[in-house]
Amino acid sequence: MAIAIRKFDAVIVGAGGAGMRAALQLAEAGFKVAVVSKVFPTRSHTVAAQGGIGAALGNMGEDSWLWHMYDTIKGSDYLGDQDAIEFMCRMAPQVVLELEHFGMPFDRNDNGTVYQRPFGGHSQNFGERPVQRSCCAADRTGHAMLHTLYQRNVRANTHFFVEWMALDLVRDAAGHVLGVTALEMETGEIYLMQARATLFATGGAGRIFAASTNAFINTGDGLGMAARAGIPLEDMEFWQFHPTGVAGAGVLITEGVRGEGGYLLNRNGERFMERYAPTMKDLASRDVVSRAMATEIKEGRGCGPEADHVLLKLDHLGVEVVEKRLPGIREIARKFANVDPVKQPIPVVPTAHYQMGGIPTNYHGEVVAPRSGNPEAVVPGFYAAGECACASVHGANRLGTNSLTDLLVFGKASGERMAQFLRENPEHRDLPSDAADRTLMRLDRLESQRNGESVHQVGADMRRTMQAHCGVFRFPDLLVEGVRKILEIAERAQRTEIKDHSKVFNTARTEALELDNLIEVARATMISAEARKESRGAHDREDFAKRDDENWLKHTLWFKDDDRLEYKPVHLKPLTAATFEPKVRTY
Amino acid sequence: MSEVDRIRWHCRRGLLELDIVLARFLDRHLDDLDRIEREAFKSLLMHSDNDLWDMISGRAEPPPEGVEAGVLELLRNV
Ligand SMILES: Cc1cc2nc3c(=O)[nH]c(=O)nc-3n(C[C@H](O)[C@H](O)[C@H](O)COP(=O)(O)OP(=O)(O)OC[C@H]3O[C@@H](n4cnc5c(N)ncnc54)[C@H](O)[C@@H]3O)c2cc1C
């Protein structure tokens, strides 16, 4: 079947912070850039970010990129690549100031400089005392960033393809990336978006878990497309969780609730944190609280008919305290948990928040994969940035505010690198005759499937399995069984069936195609997690409680083919600074 | 039918809170809206995510008027 071809210098999939920052770099350099997005750009998930952008501007007191670098490496539990981290921390002040010049309405100090907020994990002088490093625009940092970048891109003549869904990566026999296939939702037509350079900036895949703070569109499409095209996924076992998301909904309940005296209960009405952390109790650190919650649930002391959550009690605080010190909590509990927290406890569960792993790249945003003995050979024409990429600056655990920094720094860096590549490669390579086959076969299979599986049911089973077997605290027996279960679910995902075959805005079809991507991410996560026999950063195992640098100071690479795993070394050598040697991590 | 499908996709947002509330609204109310109310819903969906969420959670000043206010009331209570 012949499909229509649209030709560009560069195609960027994703219009969040990372995609739009990269697009801007290219469009302002005069290239013809297409940005494809499932939703209107300013509705990308970046809009949810409130905390701010980390950059050592030093506006609130002394600061340096080297201290930011130290905090990031320590936060990453030494799995982060130190060259990429140095690059990010050195570039951060510059990209923040550029964003300011683009018109970003940052909060300001009296002297006109950008105001910076305190945020956990950021310090002066290598952990000595806290530093204010987070640049924000009230509680709408992500929103302001998207609007600023969108305006600027419109001015630079970036071509936006809004409500278009990229389906598959197009590669030729030599492995060069030549663009993507994409579905125009409004017409149901399939196009081949041909490009000399292609960037994925598709965001995270938090929707593989039953409990997730991520919006519904965060289905890991970039990761699924890369995996199907033979590109490995790196460090997928590392997911950051937040201890208290509303059970069944995912919406966050601020840690302030426990700060004000709220506490957690199991099904016996026991205040179980007293057993796990006798001194700090419910105010222990995030990981300690999450681990205790997961243990209670695993041992059958969870609440509700499925015994799958615990309760956060705050009715003893009184209406006044709740209304005054915890604004918005009553509203959120009523809306998303159907309880009034001044009378009843809120059902909560550790909730997936951020994906540290992703498509492997170097610090130029070039996608790298093993080839003839080189673990990091560049895949020509292919780039990735933002949450879908693994540079790896977050290692085993991301430091708060470093994701927005990552979007700006690596969005820009990949845009620059792509521009250079475009100058060196002025001609489009020939499209292979089977360029769109993978996509057309996938669509064909979906349209003709009879007596198949329900997308909704397979998706729900996947999310439940990931949550129960590969959650915030991991148990060996559950992981082994989880691998078996997820492979079974992946089989079922190949037989999904849709009842609605209409062309225009067919959400059922979109969701089936999204599930194809989610399931690859789920497999990668479960299999990588089962194999890593240590605890590091966000990967926390009951049977191997300690970090094991001797055997596991290395990155995981998962290949879709046979679910094969390989490992590659961590870059311990920074660009100019001295190596930060792995140390025990205490705060 | 295609208009309804378009509205459904426009309920996919960047904020999880909106995803959930809008999905409920679609289930419970979309079929019962008359043409004018449906237009009002569509224009509410045009707001940016944070503005729409502020309206739904009652923090926005000033609140919308007319038919939009009625649809918003439904959204607040789903
Ligand atoms: C509640 C919350 C608060 C947060 N707060 C902070 C914070 O304060 N500071 C911080 O640093 N980080 C924060 N984070 C993390 C941060 O917001 C995200 O990691 C970051 O915004 C991801 O940006 P992105 O550009 O990679 O992707 P996104 O913003 O998720 O954008 C992805 C884009 O890809 C498009 N897309 C996806 N698949 C396809 C496809 N198949 N075809 C076409 N287009 C596609 C989407 O339409 C979208 O435009 C927060 C996260 C959450 C959930």
- Quote the minimal CA–CA distance from B17 to chain A in Å: 7
- Ligand 1 neighbour A20 (Cβ under 6 A): no
Of A47, A186, A332, the CB nearest to B49: A47
Q: Are A92 and A85 in contact (CB under 8 A)?
A: no
Contact: B48, A47; criterion CB under 8 Å: yes
The residues, ordered by sequence, that sit 6+ positions from A138 with a Cβ below 8 Å of its Cβ are: A107
pLDDT given for residue A87 in this prediction: 98
Given a cut of 70, is residue B1 above it in pLDDT?
no
Contact of A274 with chain B, judged by CB distance below 8 Å, is answered with: no
- Ligand 1 neighbour A51 (Cβ under 6 A): yes
pLDDT given for residue A587 in this prediction: 66
Contact of B14 with chain A, judged by CB distance below 8 Å, is answered with: yes
Contact of B66 with chain A, judged by CB distance below 8 Å, is answered with: no
| Domain definitions of chain B by residue range | 3-76
Contact: B49, A186; criterion CB under 8 Å: no
Cβ contacts of B21 on chain A, cutoff 8 Å: 335
Q: Which pTM was predicted?
A: 0.96
Q: Is the model more confident about A508 or about B65?
A: A508
Contact: A504, B48; criterion CB under 8 Å: no
C-alpha to C-alpha distance for A337 and A549, rounded to whole angstroms:
42
Contact: A39, B16; criterion CB under 8 Å: no
Q: Are A247 and A303 in contact (CB under 8 A)?
A: no
DSSP letter (8 states) at residue A539: B
- Ligand 1 neighbour A18 (Cβ under 6 A): yes
DSSP string, A446-500: HHH--S-EEHHHHHHHHHHHHHHHSSSSB-HHHHHHHHHHHHHHHHHHTTEE-S-
C-alpha to C-alpha distance for A190 and A174, rounded to whole angstroms:
25
- Ligand 1 neighbour A354 (Cβ under 6 A): yes
In the three-class reduction of DSSP (H, G, I as helix; E, B as strand; rest coil), residue A394 is classed as: coil
pLDDT given for residue A1 in this prediction: 54
Residue nearest to atom 6 of ligand 1 (CA): A49
The pairing of strands A129-135 and A53-54 is antiparallel
Q: For residue A136, give the ligand 1 atom closest to its CA.
A: 8
Residue pairs between chains A and B whose CB atoms are closer than 8 Å: 81
Of A143, A217, A336, the CB nearest to B20: A336
**pLDDT digits 0-9 by tens, A306-342:** 999 999 999 999 999 888 888 788 889 999 999 999 9
pLDDT given for residue A524 in this prediction: 98
- Quote the minimal CA–CA distance from B3 to chain A in Å: 9
Catalytic machinery residues of A: 286
User: What torsion, rounded to 10 degrees, do the Cα atoms A287, A293, A297, A302 define?
Assistant: -160
Contact of B28 with chain A, judged by CB distance below 8 Å, is answered with: no
What's the A46 CA to ligand 1 centre distance in angstroms? 4
DSSP letter (8 states) at residue A163: T
- Quote the minimal CA–CA distance from A220 to chain B in Å: 14
Contact of B58 with chain A, judged by CB distance below 8 Å, is answered with: yes
ipTM score assigned to the predicted complex = 0.95
Contact: B50, A46; criterion CB under 8 Å: no
Please identify every stretch of chain A with a pLDDT value under 70, giving residue numbers as ranges: 1, 587
Give residue for tokens 């071509």: A159
C-alpha to C-alpha distance for A183 and A197, rounded to whole angstroms:
19
- Quote the minimal CA–CA distance from A434 to chain B in Å: 31
Query: Using 50, 70 and 90 to split pLDDT, how confident is the model at B68?
Result: confident
**pLDDT digits 0-9 by tens, A529-543:** 999 999 999 999 999
In the three-class reduction of DSSP (H, G, I as helix; E, B as strand; rest coil), residue B5 is classed as: helix
C-alpha to C-alpha distance for A217 and A202, rounded to whole angstroms:
10
What's the B49 CA to ligand 1 centre distance in angstroms? 14
Residue nearest to atom 14 of ligand 1 (CA): A49
Give residue for tokens 């707001």: B47
Determine the CATH number of domain B3-76: 1.10.150.250
Host H or E run for residue A331? helix A329-337
